[in-house]
Structure 1
Amino acid sequence: MTDHILADNILADTARRLFAGRLTPDILRLAEEGHWPADLWAAVEEMGLPLALVPEEAGGFGLDIVEALGLVRIAGSAAAPLPLADSMLAAWMLAGAGLEVPAGPLTIAPPVAAPRAGRAMPSLIRDTGGWQLSGTADRVPWGRDAAAVALLAEHDGRTHVVRLDAGDWEIAETGRNIAGEPRDGLRFGLVLADDRVAPAPDGLNGAVLHGLGATLRGLAMAGAVERVLDLTVRYVGERVQFGRPLAKFQAVQQNLAVLAGQAAAAGAAADGAAEAFAELSAGGSRILPVAAAKMRCGEAAGIACSIAHQMHGAIGFTHEHVLHTLTRRLWSWRDEYGNDAFWARQLGQEAAAAGADGLWPLVTAA
């Protein structure tokens, strides 16, 4: 156990140093203009970070899941313009289904959390020529840059994992979130060989995958809020107004206390969701910590962005300052994999289903 903890800490420290040393303002600016940061991704891939959730027997690190998920928090804190979280989840899905995990940036087709008219899981049909797959996927993170996409499809009443390689889809719609991260609509219709389709691991379905994705966005938000706090504390300590640093004013101190509280709450919620991720990925069913964490991190993101920009003033919106690269991601991530309203409904439904006698056990178990 000690050796694993030591290895995990070394990996996390190395990841922090990598982003601090290699992720420059120019790379962030170019990424938002549509340039893929190939050199930065190569460094991340060389470290093996996308395989952090993959077991050793499948070619990964075999890290404790909670420790591996700390990498998502680090990437969020750095505002890294890379699909690290999405690659980690895609690699875990493919390895769990016994499919080959290819090199290069990976992503997943976000599942349909709540069926609506015109949106459904892709169609998967088995015939003598292989697997016929057809359908669309909306707002796929970094779809245009991905070497492969992992998605879920139903066949004969069972969920399957499908691997699409670059060239298997066409970009139906190019898009970006307000942070400039690609979110593309994909369209596909093709026949796949047996080595590209396999039954999903036990317990994995669209709802669970949606919860796993929400956990990753929550962890990224927690990291970004912590960095926003650090930037704000540093700025108000250096910025002098009326002959003294801003940090000496009582109103500023009060806002900093609120911001610090939000960062702590988001971090604690994300830690709980990471533990729930480990259970869900092993076939568990505890979705309540995920719902609570995504809501709490989303709330913290909104409050943190407001206070940070108020403290920084106009400079926080300039291209030369890093603050807006974090706050725009926070505003984007809180709406992905279910916004606050979506997860509030999930919490309400869980509480209502538990009833009066089951509410306290439900809350304390989470």
Structure 2
Amino acid sequence: MSDNAELVELAESIFADARSTASESESGLDAGLWKTLEETGLARLTLPEAAGGSDGTLTDAAAVLSMAGAYAARIPLVETDLLAGWLAHAAGLETPSGPLTAVAADLTVTPSGEAGAAGARVTGLLARVPWARSAAAIVVLSGDHVLVLDRAAVTVTEGVNLAEEPRDTVTVDTGLDSGAVGTAPAGAAAEFRLRAALGRALLLAGAARGALAESVRYAGERVQFGRPIGRFQAVQQQLALAAAEVAAAAAATDAAARTAAVDGFGAASTAFAVAAAKARAGEAAGQVARIAHQVHGAIGFTREHHLRLVTTRLWSWRDEDGSDAQWNDEIGARVLAAGPDGLWPLVTGTP
């Protein structure tokens, strides 16, 4: 987590206030929260000031994203800051204002005279695009091209994940001028994948922490057989197991963010750390969600209860941007490739 205590305090205050004024049954973009994040500079935290950002670090972003997950914030923070903003800036394109989303997909890009000498005609279909309906623009990594699609120029068919977050289908058939078409930097596809997985892992770690906090609070309030259920040893044991999972997920995701901040996303150390973070956070998600609902009983499944918001995100996010099984396969492949002499340096990050 970030060493910037003031940033952590600010982020928690913002997300806690947003939660206190929101209905548990609401879905879609929290426009008020997004406006606050933009006003405080947290919406584009890691982008340089020249691109409309705050020049923050990845460890700063990690703290904010974890907090967003803990409070089940309805915002495209990973998509705007870590993905769309980074990709547009890296391609030398102007970063659009407002909430953004990003996707890596194959579109048909054809040079188009009517769009300008350096423009293009773009056609194709984008599946399960996070927050497309609410985004001002969609930044697409398509082969060697980076494309900035105006939301008004595409057709969006709405869809959702289990947590009712937008996962939309976007039909593209539009012309782009030269200012919306850029060249992807070297290694962009691999970095996009790692950035997306790291962002999702940080949200997972935060949501697991949020589910644990809800469970500890409820166990202290719910009275059964004359005392709070949190005083029963069986419940205490389950909460302790959940706390261990939360700590493991936090350690793995914090380590991945710090490795990426120091070594860069092109480093093998970062690829391994991100794979470990997403896999470990995904494993923790299942365990923590199970224990949280066991502690809460039936009330935790009701639409009006906040627990549902964090656990449905845990179940959804663990499979997005690569499941824990997929990332565990990648870890195994890297371990085998390292060989006997390379295992210890790979695991410890030391020569």
* Length-normalised TM-score, structure 1: 0.87
Q: Are positions 1:84 and 2:84 aligned together?
A: no
Q: Deviations over 1:322-366 (max 9, x none)?
A: 111100000000010011121122112212222233223222228
CA contact (8 A) 1:163 1:197 kept: yes
RMSD between aligned residues: 2.0
Q: Which of 325, 328, 334 lines up with 2:309 in the alignment?
A: 325
Q: Are positions 1:74 and 2:101 aligned together?
A: no
The aligned amino acid for 2:247 is: A
Q: Which of 43, 48, 51 lines up with 2:44 in the alignment?
A: 51
Q: Which ranges in structure 2 are unaligned for 5 or more consecutive residues?
A: none
Q: Deviations over 1:201-222 (max 9, x none)?
A: 34322x3211210111100011
Q: Provide the rounded CA distance (Å) in 1 between the counterparts of 2:264 and 2:127.
A: 24
Distance 1:18 1:64, change over 3 A: same
Q: Provide the rounded CA distance (Å) in 2 between the counterparts of 1:36 and 1:248.
A: 39
Q: Provide the rounded CA distance (Å) in 1 between the counterparts of 2:273 and 2:178.
A: 36
Q: Are positions 1:240 and 2:240 aligned together?
A: no
Q: Provide the rounded CA distance (Å) in 2 between the counterparts of 1:45 and 1:362.
A: 39
The aligned amino acid for 1:201 is: P
Distance 1:239 1:335, change over 3 A: same
CA offset at residue 280 of structure 1? 7.1
Q: Are positions 1:147 and 2:140 aligned together?
A: no
Distance 1:107 1:280, change over 3 A: farther
Q: Are positions 1:208 and 2:191 aligned together?
A: yes
Q: Which of 236, 246, 250 lines up with 1:263 in the alignment?
A: 246
Counting only pairs closer than 5 Å after superposition, residues 124-273 of structure 1 correspond to structure 2 as 124-126=109-111, 128=113, 129=116, 130-154=119-143, 159-171=144-156, 173-205=157-189, 207-273=190-256
Q: Provide the rounded CA distance (Å) in 1 between the counterparts of 2:57 and 2:197.
A: 19
Q: Provide the rounded CA distance (Å) in 1 between the counterparts of 2:34 and 2:65.
A: 14
Q: Provide the rounded CA distance (Å) in 1 between the counterparts of 2:20 and 2:303.
A: 13
Q: Provide the rounded CA distance (Å) in 1 between the counterparts of 2:102 and 2:263.
A: 17
The aligned amino acid for 2:284 is: A
CA offset at residue 261 of structure 1? 0.2
Stretch deviating more after TM superposition (311-320 or 355-364): 355-364
Q: Which of 6, 21, 24 lines up with 1:10 in the alignment?
A: 6
CA contact (8 A) 2:101 2:129 kept: yes
CA contact (8 A) 1:169 1:188 kept: yes
Q: Which of 91, 95, 103 lines up with 2:97 in the alignment?
A: 103
CA contact (8 A) 1:270 1:293 kept: yes
The aligned amino acid for 1:341 is: A
The aligned amino acid for 2:50 is: E
Q: Which residue of 2 aligns with 1:116?
A: none
The aligned amino acid for 2:96 is: P
3-state SS of paired residue (1:50): coil
The aligned amino acid for 2:127 is: D
Q: Deviations over 1:220-270 (max 9, x none)?
A: 011111111111111112222111221221111111110110010010011
CA contact (8 A) 1:148 1:164 kept: yes
The aligned amino acid for 1:248 is: R
Q: Provide the rounded CA distance (Å) in 1 between the counterparts of 2:259 and 2:186.
A: 16
3-state SS of paired residue (1:336): coil
* Length-normalised TM-score, structure 2: 0.91
CA offset at residue 51 of structure 1? 1.1
Stretch deviating more after TM superposition (334-343 or 242-251): 242-251
Q: Provide the rounded CA distance (Å) in 2 between the counterparts of 1:251 and 1:60.
A: 48
The aligned amino acid for 2:309 is: T
Q: Provide the rounded CA distance (Å) in 1 between the counterparts of 2:320 and 2:81.
A: 17
The aligned amino acid for 1:124 is: V
Stretch deviating more after TM superposition (68-77 or 95-104): 95-104
Q: Which of 320, 330, 337 lines up with 1:346 in the alignment?
A: 330
Q: Provide the rounded CA distance (Å) in 2 between the counterparts of 1:103 and 1:59.
A: 8
CA contact (8 A) 1:203 1:284 kept: no
Distance 1:308 1:25, change over 3 A: farther
3-state SS of paired residue (1:49): coil
Distance 1:59 1:41, change over 3 A: closer
CA contact (8 A) 1:28 1:81 kept: no
Q: Which residue of 2 aligns with 1:295?
A: 279
Q: How many residues align?
A: 343
CA contact (8 A) 1:66 1:278 kept: yes
Q: Which ranges in structure 1 are unaligned for 5 or more consecutive residues?
A: 113-120
The aligned amino acid for 2:181 is: V
Q: Which residue of 2 aligns with 1:115?
A: none
Instruction: Give me the identity figure in percent.
Output: 44
CA offset at residue 195 of structure 1? 1.1
Q: Provide the rounded CA distance (Å) in 2 between the counterparts of 1:141 and 1:23.
A: 21
Q: Which of 288, 295, 299 lines up with 1:304 in the alignment?
A: 288
CA contact (8 A) 1:204 1:283 kept: no
Q: Are positions 1:20 and 2:9 aligned together?
A: no
